[in-house]
């Protein structure tokens, strides 16, 4: 859970668009001429200012609310076994929070064309944070006693880092989805094939990468007017009974359904069902997630609110809250009896929301930007000068 004009390639952060079209110089125009057009004038015509940029408040709000739901889901997980209500909320949220992130990621990957600057941002804004946090998580696991030895395996994403691997791979395939005739059906066919392929292996978390792929490709196919449709008053009203019905179904499904279907990490065979059942479930989950994602977006504010500024820091909140989410399990923070009461569950919910909100704030972004959005100009060759001989750089 954007446009290539931002310093980061991550859809959890990027959301800038030019407010005006790029200005173009008049052919043959010389800035050395005076306003009257005579050479040697005393006033040189100033160059047009760079186009102003703005962030779309709707998408910033959507990303912030989605990351809060991610954190709440992790906070409710230890309450799952002892509370049917908590379990229902858990699977209800898991049905659409990551699909919503992925759709938004695809929407802001529409212009990815493998240009030099886009590839550089893909490295600095996605690959580098992945390496850093995969290493940081490994060190944290070793320090906390979760594993006996310290080791870093970049081919096996751990916990939250799977999304960075997925975003990296999805975005590399973006040019392909713009040229095929039926991109969404093709992506869905790939997801269905993955869901019935038990030998796919766990490298790079490919099961999850491929099973979430249709949401990314769908996002690439969407236009601004599609989001306007779900933001209409009629859509908001219609979303209410749908969300209520989905929550009621989740409550009914808790003792009857394997929640592993919502993670998209396993094949049907690994979940103990026939392959054809996996195809049916994948189709059903895709449809369900899309409907709930639309209902979620219908209620996202389109104007600037107090949380809009936090939308630029969702990648920070997403990756950083993972340390607390895991520490709470390893260090038995949920062992207190009062936590497993309704008031305790409410307290946990509020605390998780506050923490992830703080982790998205501008001070956290400024403190960790060197890791999350490094410039790394030293790592890339300079842009070749116009007319320079091949193989030489400026």
Report pLDDT digits (tens) over 332-356: 999 989 999 999 999 999 999 999 9
Token output for 220: 């690439």
30 versus 331: the higher-pLDDT residue is: 331
Alpha carbon of residue 325 to chain centroid = 18
Say whether pLDDT at 31 is over 50.
no
Select from 372, 347, 348 the least CA-distant residue to 359.
372
The Cα 327–Cα 96 span in angstroms is 25
Secondary structure E strands in the chain: 16-18, 53-55
Residues sharing a CB contact under 8 Å with residue 10, sequence separation 6 or more, in sequence order: 2, 125, 126, 129, 164, 167, 315
In the predicted model, what is the mean pLDDT of residues 59-87? 94
Say whether pLDDT at 392 is over 80.
no
DSSP 124: I
DSSP 8: -
- SS3 for 356? helix
Give the pLDDT band (50/70/90) at residue 21: very low
Rounded to 5°, angle at Cα 379 from 374 and 380 = 110
Give the pLDDT band (50/70/90) at residue 370: very high
Distance, first Cα to last Cα, the chain: 37
Q: Which of 3-7, 87-91, 224-228, 258-262 has the lowest mean pLDDT?
A: 3-7
The Cα-based distances of 174 to 97, 108, 117, 212, 256 in angstroms read 22, 11, 15, 14, 38
Residue-wise pLDDT tens digits, 96-135? 999 999 999 999 999 999 999 999 999 999 999 999 999 9
Which pLDDT value is given to residue 281? 93
Buried b (16+ CB within 10 A) or exposed e, 265-301: ebbbbebeeeeeebbebbeebbebbbbbbbbbbbebe
Residue-wise pLDDT tens digits, 138-185? 999 999 999 999 999 999 999 999 999 999 999 999 999 999 999 999
C-alpha atoms less than 13 angstroms from C-alpha of 25 in its C-beta half-sphere: 9
Give the pLDDT band (50/70/90) at residue 12: low
Which pLDDT value is given to residue 45? 44
Say whether pLDDT at 35 is over 60.
no
Give the pLDDT band (50/70/90) at residue 40: very low
Which pLDDT value is given to residue 200? 84
Say whether pLDDT at 89 is over 60.
yes
pTM of the model: 0.84
Token output for 242: 């749908």
């Amino acid at each position: 859970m954007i446009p290539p004009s931002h310093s980061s390639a991550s859809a959890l952060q990027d959301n800038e668009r030019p407010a005006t079209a790029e200005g173009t110089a008049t052919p043959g125009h010389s800035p050395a001429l005076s306003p009257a057009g005579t050479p040697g004038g005393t006033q040189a015509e100033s160059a047009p200012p760079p186009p102003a940029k703005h962030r779309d408040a709707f998408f910033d709000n959507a990303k912030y609310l989605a990351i809060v739901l991610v954190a709440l889901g992790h906070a409710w997980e230890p309450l799952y076994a002892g509370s049917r209500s908590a379990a229902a909320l858990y699977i209800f949220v898991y049905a659409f929070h990551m699909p919503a992130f992925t759709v938004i990621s695809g929407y802001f990957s529409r212009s990815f064309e493998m240009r030099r600057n886009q590839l550089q941002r893909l490295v600095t804004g996605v690959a580098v944070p992945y390496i850093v946090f995969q290493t940081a998580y490994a060190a944290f696991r070793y320090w906390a006693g979760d594993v006996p030895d310290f080791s870093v395996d970049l081919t096996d994403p751990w916990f939250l880092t799977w999304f960075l691997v997925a975003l990296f791979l999805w975005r590399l395939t973006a040019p392909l989805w713009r040229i095929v005739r039926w991109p969404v059906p093709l992506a869905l066919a790939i997801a269905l094939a993955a869901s019935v392929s038990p030998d796919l292996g766990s490298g790079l978390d490919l099961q999850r990468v491929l099973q979430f792929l249709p949401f990314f490709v769908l996002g690439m196919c969407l236009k601004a007017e599609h989001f306007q449709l779900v933001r209409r008053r009629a859509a908001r009203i219609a979303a209410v009974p749908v969300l209520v019905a989905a929550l009621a179904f989740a409550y009914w499904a808790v003792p009857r359904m394997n929640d592993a279907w919502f993670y998209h990490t396993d094949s049907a065979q690994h979940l103990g069902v026939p392959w054809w059942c996996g195809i049916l479930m994948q189709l059903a989950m895709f449809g369900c997630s899309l409907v709930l994602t639309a209902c979620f977006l219908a209620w996202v504010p389109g104007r600037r609110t107090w949380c809009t500024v936090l939308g630029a820091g969702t990648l920070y909140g997403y990756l950083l809250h993972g340390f607390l989410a895991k520490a709470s399990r390893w260090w038995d923070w949920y062992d207190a009896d009062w936590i497993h009461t309704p008031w305790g569950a409410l307290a946990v919910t509020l605390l998780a929301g506050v923490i992830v909100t703080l982790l998205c704030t501008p001070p956290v972004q400024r403190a960790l930007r060197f890791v999350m959005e490094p410039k790394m100009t030293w790592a890339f060759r300079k842009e070749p000068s116009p007319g320079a001989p091949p193989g030489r750089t400026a």
